[in-house]
């Protein structure tokens, strides 16, 4: 299995704060890698640094062997990186359709792919011509994810997609991620919900204080309650 | 573009139409105060024409404000440059301007307007690259740089054309008025209204029906996400800046013909006016800018007629009243 994304000694400073302090990890192609950690550990900063939104002050980031740490965000996106931010960032004044038209950078919307997306997010078909600002939180999250997958992408960076959502919607998202994975996409997913993480993750990275403190198989971490407590301050049983 | 029918739609929030009706409400409210019906029509048409010209000048500025959060206090320079460039076409061809033929008049006006837009747009390219690019995200420096740019532009116009006011008479076919009963409607004001409506409709069409328009609307809301989708928003912004500068140039020639004179400080004089319009309308809102321009012009015209002493501060009073009612302007697009 080859590595699609590789971070080597990545440091990121935001103002006078030194957030990422030498992050090293690799994301295997075709796998879903979960990025876990306590609040403030640097997970969101890691995704934003990969995306070029907060460029690193030091270190290297390679996507399919190509160095991207000096590239502008649009150029990184054009290499095939889709990004779903924690805030969802749907364009509230635009309709669902218009949001997806913008996301389809390479041409007109592909009807077959849209039907595939509507299969697990039927609300998007229902509210196709409604303004995105009128959607519920869960529907906005669906739109945000749909925007990232409306065209095939090499790598998806997804930040806390289940945060604040109802269990039924979380179920739809899990189904969506499983389907995306079946199509061979590579996903790096930040998630606070350990139950969700263990259902969709192949590999896991745990961050603390701006560094990776654990890497391994997701299943292994899910089976090791003492390690969960040590790394994340929780146990799966307690979380369930 | 895939065209899927909506099987259902979310309940739409009540449309916020009150600002749309404000100019009409204001106009009707002024009728008993003005007294004479013919004076009221003249003032109203003058307001609409003036409002359209201010809208043309301010529309680019509101998009620049909304899209890239740039405070361009030098916007007035594009207005003045547009007016001066127009004199380069109109004055040498004064014979065509004074000819009693609508077609000859238009044959000289059209290239003058195009030249004004082209030169102001090109100047916009230079200003964005040289003055604004280094100070993105730094409001104080933007104010200093663009204000300095406005001063430099004004002094350059003085140096090139001299300090005197340049008379710019209206083309013969656009002088005078249409008389309907005891109502006189100036021909040029009708043309100004027509051009303003065409510009407004054109901008709305681009924003609503094209991908560039979608990108601009999305960029006003969330620049970062537009970039994360793979679009270079700074290139988009440069395009918007140039078009906005070109429109200011068009507004410049229209304003100069309205006043029948050109002078180097006209851009400086109009800067405050266009800023008031942009703030009243809501940063980044073309619809708000349009209504704001009409309101500013109406208050100036009705106010000047009814209470001349208040004319100098009427726009400020209007802005204060609007902001007390809606602190982010008539139609808030951005969260700023």
Question: Residue A95 falls within a domain, yes or no?
Answer: no
How much is the pLDDT for B67?
A: 72
A236, containing H or E segment:
helix A236-239
How much is the pLDDT for B10?
A: 61
Compare CB distances from B231 to A74, A91, A114 and report the shortest one's residue. Answer: A74
Q: Is the ipTM of this complex over 0.90?
A: yes
Predicted confidence (pLDDT) per residue in A83-99, tens digit:
999 999 999 989 999 99
Q: What is the CATH number of the domain that holds A181?
A: 3.40.50.300
Split at pLDDT 50, 70, 90, the class of B13 is low
Predicted confidence (pLDDT) per residue in B202-261, tens digit:
999 999 899 999 999 898 889 999 999 999 998 898 999 999 999 999 999 999 999 999
Question: Residue A235 falls within a domain, yes or no?
Answer: yes
How much is the pLDDT for A234?
A: 55
Does A131 reach chain B within 8 Å, measured CB to CB?
A: yes
Range B103-116 average pLDDT: 95
Over the Cα atoms of chain A, what is R_g?
A: 17
What residues make up the domain containing A179?
Answer: 3-83+153-239
Model confidence at A239: pLDDT above 70: no
Model confidence at B6: pLDDT above 60: no
Distance from CA of B103 to the nearest CA of A (A): 43
B 163-222 residues inside an 8 A Cβ radius of A: 211, 214-215, 217-218, 220-222
Distance from CA of A55 to the nearest CA of B (A): 13
How much is the pLDDT for B335?
A: 56
Across all residues in chain A, what is the average pLDDT?
91
How much is the pLDDT for A226?
A: 85
**What share of chain B in percent tops pLDDT 90?**
76
Question: Residue A148 falls within a domain, yes or no?
Answer: no
How much is the pLDDT for A124?
A: 93
How much is the pLDDT for A229?
A: 83
Does B69 reach chain A within 8 Å, measured CB to CB?
A: no
How much is the pLDDT for B310?
A: 84
How much is the pLDDT for B136?
A: 84
How much is the pLDDT for A195?
A: 87
How much is the pLDDT for B113?
A: 97
Distance from CA of A20 to the nearest CA of B (A): 21
Domain ranges, ordered by start, for chain B: 35-325
CB A94 within 8 A of CB B214: yes
Predicted confidence (pLDDT) per residue in A154-205, tens digit:
999 999 998 888 888 888 889 889 889 888 899 999 998 888 899 999 999 9
B 4-63 residues inside an 8 A Cβ radius of A: 4-13
Split at pLDDT 50, 70, 90, the class of A56 is very high
Model confidence at B305: pLDDT above 50: yes
How much is the pLDDT for A48?
A: 97
Mutation to test the B interface, candidates A44, A52, A68, A73, most B Cβ within 10 Å:
A73
Question: Residue A136 falls within a domain, yes or no?
Answer: no
Predicted confidence (pLDDT) per residue in B18-57, tens digit:
999 999 999 999 999 998 889 999 999 999 999 999 999 9
How many domains are contained in chain A? 1
DSSP notation for A123-188: HHHHTTTSBGGGS-HHHHHHHHHHHHHSS--SEEEEE-TTTT--HHHHHHHHHHHHHHHHTT-EEE
Model confidence at A236: pLDDT above 50: no
Question: Residue A146 falls within a domain, yes or no?
Answer: no
d(CA A182, CA A162): 20
Order of strands, sheet of A58-63, starting from the edge strand that comes earlier in the sequence = A17-28, A3-14, A58-63, A66-67
């Amino acid at each position: 299995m080859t590595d699609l994304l590789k971070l080597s000694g990545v440091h990121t400073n935001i103002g006078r704060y030194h957030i990422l302090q030498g992050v090293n990890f690799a994301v295997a192609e075709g796998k879903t890698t979960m990025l876990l950690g306590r609040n403030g550990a640097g997970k969101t900063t890691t995704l934003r640094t990969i995306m070029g939104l907060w460029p690193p002050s030091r270190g290297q980031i390679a996507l399919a062997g190509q160095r991207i740490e000096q590239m502008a965000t649009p150029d990184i996106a054009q290499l095939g990186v889709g990004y779903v931010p924690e805030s969802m960032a749907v364009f509230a004044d635009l309709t669902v359709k218009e949001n997806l038209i913008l996301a389809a950078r390479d041409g007109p919307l592909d009807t077959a792919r849209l039907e595939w997306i509507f299969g697990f997010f039927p609300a998007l078909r229902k509210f196709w011509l409604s303004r995105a600002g009128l959607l519920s939180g869960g529907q906005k999250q669906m739109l945000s994810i749909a925007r990232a997958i409306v065209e095939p992408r090499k790598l998806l960076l997804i930040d806390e997609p289940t945060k604040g959502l109802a269990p039924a919607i979380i179920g739809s998202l899990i189904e969506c991620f499983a389907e995306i994975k079946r199509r061979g996409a590579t996903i790096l997913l930040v998630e606070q919900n350990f139950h969700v993480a263990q259902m969709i993750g192949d590999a896991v990275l745990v961050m603390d204080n701006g560094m990776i403190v654990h890497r391994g198989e997701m299943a292994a971490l899910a089976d090791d309650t003492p390690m969960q407590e040590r790394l994340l301050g929780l146990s799966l049983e307690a979380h369930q | 573009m895939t065209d899927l029918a909506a099987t259902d739609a979310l309940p739409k929030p009540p449309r916020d139409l009150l600002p749309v009706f404000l100019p009409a409400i204001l106009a009707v409210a002024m009728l008993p105060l003005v007294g004479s019906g013919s004076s009221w029509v003249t003032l109203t048409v003058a307001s609409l024409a003036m409002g359209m010209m201010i809208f043309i000048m301010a529309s680019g500025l509101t998009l620049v404000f909304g899209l890239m959060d740039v405070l361009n206090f030098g916007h007035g320079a594009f207005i003045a440059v547009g007016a001066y460039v127009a004199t380069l076409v109109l004055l040498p061809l004064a014979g065509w301007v004074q000819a009693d033929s609508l077609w000859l008049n238009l044959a000289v006006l059209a290239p003058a307007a195009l030249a004004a837009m082209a030169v102001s747009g090109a100047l916009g390219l230079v200003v964005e690259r040289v003055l604004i690019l280094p100070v993105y995200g730094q409001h104080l420096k933007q104010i200093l740089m663009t204000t300095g740019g406005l001063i430099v532009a004004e002094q350059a116009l003085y140096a090139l054309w001299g300090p005197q006011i340049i008379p710019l008479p209206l083309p013969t076919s656009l002088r005078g008025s249409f008389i309907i009963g005891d109502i006189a409607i100036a021909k040029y004001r009708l043309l100004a209204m027509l051009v303003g409506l065409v510009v407004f409709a054109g901008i709305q069409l681009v924003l609503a029906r094209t991908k560039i328009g979608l990108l601009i609307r999305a960029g006003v809301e969330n620049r970062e996400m537009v970039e994360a989708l793979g679009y270079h928003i700074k290139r988009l912004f440069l395009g918007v800046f140039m078009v906005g500068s070109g429109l200011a140039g068009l507004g410049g020639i229209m304003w100069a013909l309205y006043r029948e004179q050109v002078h180097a400080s006209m851009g400086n004089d109009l800067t405050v006016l266009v800023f008031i319009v942009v703030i009243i309308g809501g940063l980044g809102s073309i619809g708000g800018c349009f209504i704001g321009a009409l309101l500013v012009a109406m208050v100036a015209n009705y106010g000047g007629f009814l209470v001349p002493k208040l004319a100098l501060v009427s726009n400020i009073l209007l802005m204060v009243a609007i902001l007390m009612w809606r602190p982010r302007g008539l139609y808030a697009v951005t969260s700023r």
